[in-house]
């Protein structure tokens, strides 16, 4: 008897289906793990960094209380969360974390911006400067750093870019910059996942760096520019912060990890003895007519009176630009013969010149002669003598002395304060500068300074 063996594939298809389902499930789980685990890890790391930034913001507040004398000591809790905390307040640390304040006149500023706008560039030109170390307290999580430095909190990302979390101690009220530099003293390190505390104390009174009469650093400021060099691992964030303020402009020296911050200084305004030379600060070029007074009261110094005031020039230079007011005495009048503006950076014809016909009367005789010269007189006409112009959009070839002076004074002070000098083509200068005067009033740029106060505030920090 023969037995027939039954053949069927029904059971095989069921097994294959189960295997496929299991395979898909395992693959899906693998894909989920592949992409979600790093994401979860990234979220955990971000949460740690955010918590650390919050802790350092508290640290910043407590450090300020101690440094500024509001409290003799403070204790701040920090959670390490697997990171490393460093207190960098020794000489080696200070090499990479310090502030240098440079005071420069217009010529010194021009030299340093053209040839020395880098860390220690001021040394090349012998510019007056003073400095303070800062130091830092930092917490490292993998490739991310959160730090307290210079009275601010900074966060540095793995790509090398830094951002500000809490602003540093820069205080400006429209005339005065107050800069308490926070100096961290101490050196220690700890790693792990535990919670630790940092004790900060200060027993010293702040060291005054400016004003400092012993080193001839006084207020109101006599310099034309204040330049602050900030050497820091977070230099780019320092520069970003400075550029976000209305009173500063900043650039960076990337190779030396330095932020370079500029502030304009306002020279004295009002009526003063006619100094030789005299200064005009950076004028607010956002206004159409920022100058309110620009006049001279000229007194003769000899029996010849003002008769020898021939081709007298009042001129200033700033970089490639020069502005010249030309005066000439004739027939008992001092005439504004021309206003000449030059810019050697312009290709082709780089001069603009306006000629004047009107004059200001000379009063009295001989050694008592005097004249009032008002460079903002709107009744005087000036005529443009060139066929083209590179700074003047007006098509009218006749403009008032008032308009022409306003226009070129904004241009010549565009890069900051300038010095005006005077000279005559004659054998002697007939002006008695001691009895002559100048009256200057104008709207300066919003970021301009009159007073500066800088202190070094040392705080000791240790891990407890």
Give pLDDT tens digits for 380-403. 999 998 888 999 876 678 999 999
Q: What is the mean pLDDT of residues 324-347?
A: 94
For 366: left if phi > 0, alpha if psi spans -120 to 50, otherwise beta; the answer is left
Q: Which of 141, 130, 10 minimizes the C-alpha distance to 82?
A: 141
Bridge partners (DSSP) of residue 422 are: 314
Categorize the per-residue pLDDT at 40 as very low, low, confident or very high, splitting at 50, 70 and 90.
very low
CA–CA gap between residue 437 and residue 432 (Å, rounded): 10
Write down the pLDDT at residue 15.
67
Higher pLDDT pick, 401 / 115:
401
**DSSP-derived 3-state class of residue 439:** strand
Distance CA 386, CA 397 (A): 9
Q: How confident is the model at residue 30 (pLDDT cuts 50, 70, 90)?
A: low
pLDDT at 48: 79
Nearest-angstrom CA–CA distance, 233 and 218: 32
Lowest mean pLDDT among 25-34, 419-428, 454-463: 25-34
DSSP letter string, 131-166: EEE--EEEEEETTEEEEEETTEEEEE-TTS-EEEEE
- Find, among 229, 118, 209, 154, the residue nearest to 456 by Cα: 209
| Confidence at residue 377, expressed as pLDDT on a 0 to 100 scale | 97
Mean pLDDT for the chain? 89
Chain centroid to CA 256: 18
Please say whether the beta carbons of 455 and 181 come within 8 A: yes
Bond before 130 cis per omega within 30 degrees: no
Strand partners, 187: 88
pLDDT band at 12 (very low <50, low <70, confident <90, very high): low
Strand-strand pairing, 249-253 and 258-264: antiparallel
**Left if phi > 0, otherwise alpha if psi is -120 to 50, otherwise beta: which for 338?**
beta
For residues 42-56, give the mean pLDDT.
79
- The predicted structure's pLDDT at residue 45: 66
DSSP tag of 427: S
Q: What is the mean pLDDT of residues 76-88?
A: 95
Q: What is the pLDDT of residue 83?
A: 94
**DSSP string across 216-263:** TB-SS--SSEEEEEEE-TTHHHHHHHHHHSTT-EEEEETTTTEEEEEE
Is pLDDT larger for residue 142 or for residue 436? 436
The whole-number pLDDT of residue 308 equals 79
Check whether 66 has a pLDDT greater than 70: yes
pLDDT at 307: 82
Average pLDDT over residues 91-106: 94
C-alpha 222/C-alpha 4 separation (Å) is: 117
* Residues in Cβ contact with 45 at an 8 Å cutoff, skipping those fewer than 6 apart: 141, 142, 144
Determine if the pTM surpasses 0.75. Answer: yes
Parallel, antiparallel or unpaired: strands 176-191 and 451-463 = parallel
The answer to whether the CB of 136 falls within 8 A of the CB of 127 is no
What pLDDT, in 10s, does the model give residues 250-280? 999 999 999 999 998 888 899 999 987 899 9
Which are the contacts of 327, defined by CB distance < 8 A and separation ≥ 6? 309, 312, 313, 314, 334, 335, 336, 337, 373
| pLDDT tier for residue 11 given thresholds of 50, 70 and 90 | low
| 347-378 confidence digits (pLDDT tens) | 988 999 999 988 999 998 888 899 999 999 99
* Contact (CB, 8 A) for 82 and 217: no
Q: Are 404 and 382 in contact (CB under 8 A)?
A: yes
Residue 237 confidence (pLDDT) above 80:
yes
| Per-residue pLDDT at 37 | 45
195, pLDDT greater than 90: yes
Cα separation values, 184 from 149, 190, 416, Å: 8, 17, 35
The residue-averaged pLDDT of 153-164 equals 96
| pLDDT value, residue 312 | 92
Please state the rounded mean pLDDT for residues 402-429: 90
Residues facing residue 99 across a β-bridge: 132, 230
Asked whether residue 36 carries a pLDDT value surpassing 50, the answer given is no
Q: If pLDDT is split at 50, 70 and 90, which confidence band does 38 have?
A: very low
Split at pLDDT 50, 70, 90, the class of 241 is very high
Average pLDDT over residues 180-199: 96
- From the list 300, 320, 313, 343, the residue with the least C-alpha distance to 420 is 313
pLDDT at site 29: 66
Q: What's residue 35's pLDDT?
A: 52
| DSSP codes joined into one string, 8-23 | --HHHHHHHHHHHHHH
pLDDT at residue 141 is higher than 60: yes
* Whole-number percent of the chain with pLDDT over 90: 66
d(CA 111, CA 224): 13
The answer to whether residues 382 and 408 touch, using CB atoms and an 8 Å cutoff, is: no
- State the Cα–Cα distance between residues 77 and 32, nearest whole angstrom: 37
């Amino acid at each position: 008897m023969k037995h027939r063996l039954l053949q069927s594939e029904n059971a095989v298809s069921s097994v294959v289906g189960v295997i496929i389902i299991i395979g898909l499930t395992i693959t899906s789980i693998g894909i989920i793990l592949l992409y979600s685990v790093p994401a979860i890890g990234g979220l955990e790391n971000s949460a740690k960094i955010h918590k650390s930034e919050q802790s350092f913001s508290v640290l910043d507040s407590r450090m300020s209380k101690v440094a500024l004398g509001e409290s003799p000591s403070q204790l701040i809790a920090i959670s390490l969360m697997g990171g490393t905390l460093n207190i960098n307040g020794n000489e080696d640390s200070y090499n990479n974390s310090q502030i240098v304040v440079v005071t420069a006149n217009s010529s010194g500023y021009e030299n340093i911006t053209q040839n020395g706008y880098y860390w220690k560039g001021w040394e090349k030109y012998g510019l007056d400067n003073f400095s303070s170390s800062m130091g830092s307290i930092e917490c490292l999580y993998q490739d991310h750093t959160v730090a307290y430095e210079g009275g601010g909190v900074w966060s540095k990302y793995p790509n090398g870019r830094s951002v500000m979390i809490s602003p540093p101690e820069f205080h400006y009220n429209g005339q005065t910059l107050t800069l308490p530099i926070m100096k961290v003293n101490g050196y220690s390190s700890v790693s792990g996942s535990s919670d630790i505390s940092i004790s900060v104390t200060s027993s010293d009174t702040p060291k005054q760096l400016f004003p400092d009469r012993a080193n001839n650093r006084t207020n109101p400021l006599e310099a034309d520019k204040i330049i602050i060099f900030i050497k820091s691992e977070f230099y780019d964030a320092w520069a970003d912060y400075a550029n976000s303020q209305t009173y500063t402009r900043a650039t960076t020296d990337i190779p030396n990890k330095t932020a370079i911050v500029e502030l304009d200084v306002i020279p004295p305004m009002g009526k003063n003895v006619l100094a030789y030379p005299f200064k005009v600060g950076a004028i607010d070029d956002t206004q159409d007519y920022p100058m309110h007074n620009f006049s001279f009261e000229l007194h003769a110094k000899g029996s010849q009176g003002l008769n020898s005031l021939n081709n007298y020039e009042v001129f200033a230079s700033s970089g490639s630009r020069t502005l010249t007011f030309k005066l000439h005495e004739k027939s008992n009048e001092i005439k504004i013969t021309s206003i000449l503006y030059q810019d050697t950076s312009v290709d082709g014809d780089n001069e603009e010149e306006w000629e004047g016909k009107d004059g200001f009367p000379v009063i009295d005789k001989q050694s008592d002669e005097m004249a009032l010269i008002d460079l903002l007189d709107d009744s005087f006409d000036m005529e443009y003598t060139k066929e083209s112009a590179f700074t003047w959009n007006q098509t009218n070839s006749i403009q008032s002395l008032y308009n022409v002076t306003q226009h070129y004074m904004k241009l010549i002070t565009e890069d900051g304060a300038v010095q005006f000098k005077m000279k005559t083509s004659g054998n002697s200068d007939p002006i008695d500068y001691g009895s002559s005067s100048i009256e200057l009033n104008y709207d300066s740029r919003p970021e301009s300074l009159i007073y500066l106060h800088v202190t070094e505030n040392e705080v000791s920090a240790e891990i407890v």
